[in-house]
Structure 1
Amino acid sequence: MIKAYRAADVRAAEAPLLAAGEPLMERASGALALATIREVSASGRPVYGCRVFVLAGGGDNGGDALYAAARLAARGMSVKAFVPGRAHEGGLAAALRAGVRLAELDEARRADVWIDGLVGIGARGPLREPLASHVRALSGMRSGQRVVAVDVPSGIGADDGTVPGPVLDCDLTVTMGAPKPGLYLEPARRHAGRVEVADIGLSLGEPALVSLQEEDARGMWPVPGPDSHKYTRGVLGVMAGSRRYPGAGFLCADAALAAGPGMVRYAGPRDLADRVAARHPECVLGEGRVDAWVIGPGVDMDDERAASEAARRLQLAAAESLPVVLDAGAIALAATAECDERVVLTPHAGELANLLTSLGEAVSRREIEAVPARAARLAAAATGATVLLKGPVDVACTADGPLYAQSGPAWRATAGAGDVLAGLLGAVLAQGIAPLPAAALAAFVHGRACPRRPVRAGDIAAAVAPTLADLTL
């Protein structure tokens, strides 16, 4: 499990160690130097004589970069440093003693590796001038150089993943003490490259962001035991599909059945129910016991009867304290219904923009894509629900507590993939997993099930069962 921490929490963890004289910068710069050497070796270049260009701001990031520069020079690298303003005094002195030469920005074009230590986690908003112009110039002159960031790429929102101005794309980020949320959130994660954590001895508490990994999913996924039967394994009710969007009903049922509940009860339109049952004889039709609901995939909410039935089922589920997935057009029900965290909304950015606008928070799809984590949190606070915002990185959250961030192949951006995710999530809820971790777990499996090639939503649904077999065997 990846656990990421806000800048303020990292600084609070550093404070007592610094007061006690712990050499945090020495540890950080040592880890940075070693990571840079590994990066050079992996690129096929010889370490000795490799040309390194260090971008050193005046804060601790600049100090880490300059102390690392001294270490790299001692290993036989040819190191130059660009210091655009005041320098970290101790770091600069160490670098100069080791033979590092100060240079103008234009000399970066002749280097093999750049180390970005301009600003760190304390920065807020876009890079100020002249740093913004320097980064634009570097991006324009870059021609094959490897770029290593110190802690975070300069200019990203370390806490929220925003990219408010120019940022230098990095191949590797060496993050100090603990990961930062912005390294795993859109859109900033696109600039971070690979992320390595340098352990400098921090003791931290609750993370701000969590990202499930394979071992976490393996431990969380419900596996039946010798005393299990279809009702103990959970019954999922599915209201999905319509004459206009019949495929959504099929895809949602496909994924739900593949995810292992004891039963899937299909409660979609009558004219579609027989077709679903013919495709899936395991599906049970009509009313009966249900442990969780999926409402909305492919439901035509412009049809007054369908919209009324969706609202009725949501109300009944609330009265029985059942978890519910609201997807597609049914997400709009959260604007007027009383929701709690047992209701999981699964919007994409456009659907979330519509919901927030209906709640009085006028926002565009583009604005949500610029700050998805913040938008998901806002929606959770406004509705009381759990939100799973779909995107290149799926973000799950409630009104407070940690965010979950789960990525998957970009090939998932295809029609029907959301219907698959809704069915998968509903099945997890029916099997008794709490809504927030269920949302993260479903997003993880959805991403893992997506082939790394051009894909149809049906291919993702078909891969759910084999993916779970790999996790649980």
Structure 2
Amino acid sequence: MWHRVAVTSGNVIHAYSSVQVQSAVAGALGVACSDDELIRKAAFGLAQACLTELRDTFGSAHGCTVVLLVGTGKNGADAMVAGKHLRERGVAVHAIATGGHVDVIGTRHLDVPAIDATDTAGLIQALDLIARADMVVDGIVGDAMVGDLRAPASDLVEAIPDGAMVVAVDVPSGVDPDSGAIGGIHVRADVTVTFGAYKRCLLLPPAAEVVGRLVFVDVGITPRLDVEGQVQRLSSVGVAERWPVPGPGDHKYSRGLLGIVAGSERYPGAAVLACLGAFGTGVGIVRYTGPRHVGDLILEHVPEAERFPGKVDTYLLGSGVLDDPDQERAIDEALATGLPCVVDAGAIETCVRRRAAGDRPTPGDRILLTPHVGELARSLAALGREATTADILHRPYEHALRVAEAAEVTVLLKGSTTIVVGPDGRAFSQDEGPAWLATAGSGDVLAGIAGALSSAGLSALEVGAMAAFVHGRAAAMAADDGPLRASKIAEHAPGAVRELLAERTALVRPRAGRRGGRGLARAGGRGRGRE
């Protein structure tokens, strides 16, 4: 049996819908505090984040110029009150009212009149200020946004110079707060300071690509969010706590038996990479089924693999499979066993068609599909739900959910931010990988990592999130700010797991001479690419 440390919710980021957040705010206002108090708490955290960025960039915030883009709602008030704190630190602060007026709480705190950008003369003045800004604070709209940004807000956003730092208040203006979709002109932030709860758009692509670094400010509404967020992200500690580690009584058969049907004349290396990914992250045994010449190649590079069918705990199907009747038959047989499956590339469409037709021997929480955008588009077409790759990139969560629901599967959609969506709509979002991760064969390594985790008995949602995390971390180690090959990701996978387990040891074992364990760093790195 593999052993896992108990999971604590503090190691998972939970993201909530705008309705859930607004309900929590309303509850807090009715009992615990006033609107003014919430804004003051949010604004203080926002000001501290702005000061940190200015000091890190210029050495001092004193003398820097900050322009506040202030909408008519509470986000604008947050920006105005934060402006008061910035002025007290010697920052030159200018406020621009994008909707003609400002929330009364904001005007009560910052005694600098906001420039009315709805007036022609005011707009000209505003554009000139933005052009000379060291930092622009985006307080235009928040999690209640509906529709695209309109003029003059859209004009002001377009005028932000590339050299100015951009800090978004709660969410970047112009993104849909729930789906993460981006329809038109929007803010691209270097930092997003979010209050009370993470909003879904902060974790879901494409909005997740424009939020920059996330800073969380607790304003006291968290206790009123008494349910898990439907969209979540595992931290490094969250992955470490869940990672299956063998105990003294384990042996190769108890550590997971993975059956792999992969590789072809055109893509023989896919099977090799999948095997490397699986062994690199802890599987006990790999049993390969496929063409003889691919099996020879596997044994040349992965002599630990077994080249004959047999009892397995989980199947990995489809990586590099192309036009091979024997392999297609093996895939059909595997899908009929009822065992957990990781389904990649050449097996995805077959799996979707079968399960959509009602042939579902494996529960939806134990079968993981790992498509890229093109493969998801083909799966949707197989379901009679046409979608272009552009459609999917615009709303990836929604399109992945359509396949997950129709076929009762869990879908891992690869991308710069990878999302893992279950048939009930619950999702994980991970973005640990560097841009160099988008390279041929990296998806085969990911499938192998997922296969190893699935053979340990984890749910498909956990498998997808954890595999994406370790895949991204291994890629970051392999890339070291430069190009990488997929085989290098597999080589660094054991090191990525070793780092995680070191964090887990630090979590449960205090250092000698101290009463408590040492602090754990959050996972770093912005996600950029995945095959």
Fold agreement, TM-score > 0.5: yes
* Cα drift, residue 45 of structure 1: 4.9
- SS of the counterpart of 1:285? coil
* Cα drift, residue 226 of structure 1: 0.6
Please list, as runs of the form range in 1=range in 2, the aligned pairs for 1:56-455 lying within 5 A after superposition: 56-84=70-98, 85-96=100-111, 99=112, 102=115, 104-106=125-127, 107-136=129-158, 138-139=159-160, 142-202=161-221, 203=223, 204=225, 205-300=227-322, 302-316=323-337, 318=338, 322-338=339-355, 339=360, 340-341=363-364, 342-407=366-431, 408-450=433-475, 451-452=478-479, 453-455=482-484
Distance 2:328 2:310 in 1: 21
Q: Is contact 1:120–1:152 with CA below 8 Å preserved after alignment?
A: yes
Q: Is contact 1:266–1:286 with CA below 8 Å preserved after alignment?
A: yes
* Cα drift, residue 402 of structure 1: 2.7
* Cα drift, residue 145 of structure 1: 1.8
* Cα drift, residue 100 of structure 1: 5.2
Q: Is contact 2:49–2:193 with CA below 8 Å preserved after alignment?
A: yes
Q: Deviations over 1:1-46 (max 9, x none)?
A: 3222221111111112112334111111111112111121111153
The letter for the 1-side match of 2:343 is L
Structure 1: gaps of 5 or more residues: none
The letter for the 1-side match of 2:389 is R
Does 2:62 correspond to 1:40? no
The letter for the 1-side match of 2:267 is Y
The letter for the 2-side match of 1:144 is G
Q: Is contact 1:314–1:324 with CA below 8 Å preserved after alignment?
A: yes
Distance 1:276 1:49 in 2: 63
Kindly tell me: are residues 242 and 119 of structure 1, through their superposed partners in 2, closer, same or farther at Cα, counting changes over 3 Å? same
Deviates more, 1:354-363 or 1:399-408: 399-408
Q: Deviations over 1:389-439 (max 9, x none)?
A: 011111101122431011111211111111111111011100111111011
Distance 1:186 1:119 in 2: 19
The letter for the 1-side match of 2:193 is V
Deviates more, 1:241-250 or 1:268-277: 268-277
Q: Deviations over 1:205-236 (max 9, x none)?
A: 21122111211121111111011111211100
Q: Is contact 1:78–1:100 with CA below 8 Å preserved after alignment?
A: no
Name the structure 1 match of 2:505: none
Could you state the TM-score of these two structures normalised by the residue count of structure 2? 0.84
Distance 2:207 2:57 in 1: 24
Does 2:470 correspond to 1:456? no
Q: Is contact 1:328–1:351 with CA below 8 Å preserved after alignment?
A: yes
Does 2:483 correspond to 1:468? no
* Cα drift, residue 74 of structure 1: 3.0
- SS of the counterpart of 2:136? strand
Distance 1:274 1:62 in 2: 64
Q: Is contact 2:408–2:423 with CA below 8 Å preserved after alignment?
A: yes
Distance 1:334 1:264 in 2: 22
Q: Is contact 2:175–2:183 with CA below 8 Å preserved after alignment?
A: yes
* Cα drift, residue 270 of structure 1: 2.9
Q: Is contact 1:79–1:100 with CA below 8 Å preserved after alignment?
A: no
Q: Is contact 2:167–2:190 with CA below 8 Å preserved after alignment?
A: yes
Distance 2:336 2:484 in 1: 36
Q: Is contact 1:324–1:344 with CA below 8 Å preserved after alignment?
A: yes
The letter for the 2-side match of 1:165 is G
Could you state the TM-score of these two structures normalised by the residue count of structure 1? 0.94
Q: Deviations over 1:356-390 (max 9, x none)?
A: 01101100112111211221112111110010001
- SS of the counterpart of 1:399? coil
Structure 2: gaps of 5 or more residues: 1-11, 116-121, 503-531
- SS of the counterpart of 1:124? coil
Q: Is contact 1:70–1:100 with CA below 8 Å preserved after alignment?
A: no
Deviates more, 1:364-373 or 1:234-243: 364-373
The letter for the 2-side match of 1:93 is R
Q: Is contact 1:254–1:423 with CA below 8 Å preserved after alignment?
A: yes
Distance 1:185 1:436 in 2: 16
Distance 1:331 1:79 in 2: 55
Partner residue of 2:17 out of 6, 12, 37: 6
Distance 1:55 1:280 in 2: 58
Distance 1:413 1:144 in 2: 28
Distance 1:255 1:143 in 2: 40
Q: Is contact 1:69–1:100 with CA below 8 Å preserved after alignment?
A: no
Distance 1:49 1:254 in 2: 55
* Cα drift, residue 147 of structure 1: 1.5
RMSD: 1.7
Q: Is contact 1:380–1:398 with CA below 8 Å preserved after alignment?
A: yes
The letter for the 2-side match of 1:442 is A
Distance 1:51 1:133 in 2: 20
Q: Is contact 1:327–1:345 with CA below 8 Å preserved after alignment?
A: yes
The letter for the 2-side match of 1:335 is V
Q: Is contact 2:290–2:327 with CA below 8 Å preserved after alignment?
A: no
Kindly tell me: are residues 305 and 441 of structure 1, through their superposed partners in 2, closer, same or farther at Cα, counting changes over 3 Å? same
Query: How many residue pairs end up in the alignment?
Result: 463
Distance 2:64 2:293 in 1: 70
Distance 2:295 2:135 in 1: 61
* Cα drift, residue 143 of structure 1: 4.9
* Cα drift, residue 101 of structure 1: 5.5
Identical aligned residues as a percent: 40
Distance 1:197 1:366 in 2: 31
Deviates more, 1:278-287 or 1:59-68: 278-287
* Cα drift, residue 310 of structure 1: 1.5
Distance 1:200 1:402 in 2: 26
Distance 1:278 1:109 in 2: 60
Q: Which runs of 4+ in 1 moved over 3 A?
A: 99-104
